[in-house]
A and B are shown apart, each in its own frame.
Chain A
Amino acid sequence: MKIEDHLEKAERLGGLRSRLNPADDYELWYWASLSASMNLFNAALHHLGATVAEDCFPHNLPVYIRPGDKPGNFEAVIRPFGDLEHVEDEEVESLIPPRLALAAAALRELEAVREPGVRGDMEITPALTGGVDAAYLRVLGITRFILDGEAEAGP
């Protein structure tokens, strides 16, 4: 997606996240945290020129779904790296610029508790929700700094 579309999604996901209770609604709260983080990370990657911003949507990379010229028409296409789904394989890792290394590390922290916490029976503790919150805020802070800083430094 385009940068502005990622940011719009991240803002709405952040809004939902703030309406959910981290303990009672852990699964959806966590998923909103991860999804918002991934949108912010993709926006920053596009901004730094590391990945392509285009209207192709990831479905098990490098397969992307590209809308056709009529509503309801779509095709699966192999594309250069655009939007990422996860930050967990060697080829994806090699795309990440040093300025986003700490955000990528925070995303990996989020990913590490995805399966046990959402699909498994990991106990939902304050330590777990606190860790997710901290990782989300790190991604938010780093990506906003890059996106906003570059905007201010522009022409």
Chain B
Amino acid sequence: MNAEGHRAKAERIERSLAKCRTDDYEMIIDGAMLAVTHWINAAFHFVELTDDDSDVIHAYFETAFDRQHFGLVAGAAFLDGLEEIETLRPLHARGNVAGGEAAAKRCLEILQGIREKALALGTDAPAAD
């Protein structure tokens, strides 16, 4: 999927997240994870860090080399943000540790920050002819 496709998918998920209530914290956490992943791929494809057929899925799948490589070009915040969300998923999305709603709120903050960083890298530029 190309950068524009990932951006469209991220924005679809964000519109759905807006329909969630605070007690839907599992899906806010997981939805933020999915949307963040699409924003990361939109940004990385846009700056040609990764090809359209090579997507980031989880931060923990990426090697230390890739993390450094991505961080040098695009900034560490992309994978660091995804990793923070992924750390919260076992506790609150799959588990029932207290604080799910606060964790969900934090995930939405991470999503907002990563969306802004992706857009700043130019993923909102008009498509080339």
Chain B proximity mask over A118-135: 1 for CB below 8 Å, otherwise 0:
111100000000000000
B97 (CB) vs chain A CBs: closest residue: A67
Q: Does B101 contact A (CB under 8 A)?
A: no
Alpha-carbon gap, A12 to B27, bound state (A)? 10
Of the candidates A19, A35, A58, the one whose C-beta lies within 8 Å of that of B19 is A19
Q: Looking at the assembled complex, report how far the CB atom of A31 sits from the nearest CB atom of chain B, in whole angstroms.
A: 6
Which of chain A's residues have a CB closer than 8 A to the CB of B119? none
CB of A25 to closest CB in B, whole Å: 4
Q: In the docked arrangement, what's the CA distance between A89 and B35, Å?
A: 27
**Contact of A28 with B13 at beta-carbon distance under 8 Å, contacts A59-B90, A119-B55 already known:** yes
State the CA gap A1–B13 with chains docked (Å).
28
- Interface: B93 (CB within 8 A): yes
Given the known interface contacts A27-B12, A31-B27, the answer about A65 and B95 at a Cβ–Cβ threshold of 8 Å is yes
Verify A25–B34 contact, CB threshold 8 A. no
Q: Are A31 and B30 in contact (CB under 8 A)?
A: yes
Q: How big is chain A's contact interface, by range?
A: 20 to 34
A83: contacting residue among B20, B23, B57, B94, CB under 8 A = B94
State A83–B57 Cα separation when bound (angstroms): 22
- Check A119 against B57 for contact (C-beta < 8 Å): yes
Tell me the count of chain B residues lying within 8 A, CB to CB, of chain A.
33
Whether B17 lies near A12 (C-beta < 8 A) is: no
A150 vs B34: C-alpha distance when bound (angstroms): 37
Chain B residues within an 8 Å CB radius of A26: 12
Q: Is the CB of A20 within 8 A of B96?
A: no
Q: Does A29 contact B (CB under 8 A)?
A: yes
Instruction: Kindly state the separation between the CA atoms of A119 and B57 in the bound complex, as whole angstroms.
Output: 8
Proximity string of chain B (53-73) to chain A, C-beta cutoff 8 Å, 1 when within and 0 when not: 001010010000000000000
Q: Which of A1, A16, A71 contacts B95 (CB 8 A)?
A: A1
Tell whether, in the assembled complex, residue A57 and residue B34 are in contact, meaning their CB atoms are under 8 Å apart.
no
A16 B27 Cβ-Cβ under 8 A? yes
How far, in Å, is B51 (CB) from chain A's closest CB?
15
Q: Which of B1, B21, B38, B94 contacts A58 (CB 8 A)?
A: B94
B67 to A: closest C-beta gap in Å: 18
User: In the complex, what residue of chain B is closest to A42 when comparing beta carbons?
Assistant: B94
- Chain B residue nearest to A63 (CB atoms) is B90
Chain B residues in 8 Å Cβ range of A88: none
Q: A83-B94, A119-B55 are in contact. Are A20 and B19 (CB under 8 A)?
A: yes
Taking a contact as CB atoms under 8 Å apart, the answer to whether B34 and A118 are in contact is yes
Contacts of B26 in A (CB 8 A): 9, 12-13, 35
Contact surface of B with A, Cβ cutoff 8 Å: 1, 5, 9, 12-13, 15-17, 19-21, 23-24, 26-27, 30-31, 34, 37-38, 55, 57, 60, 89-91, 93-99
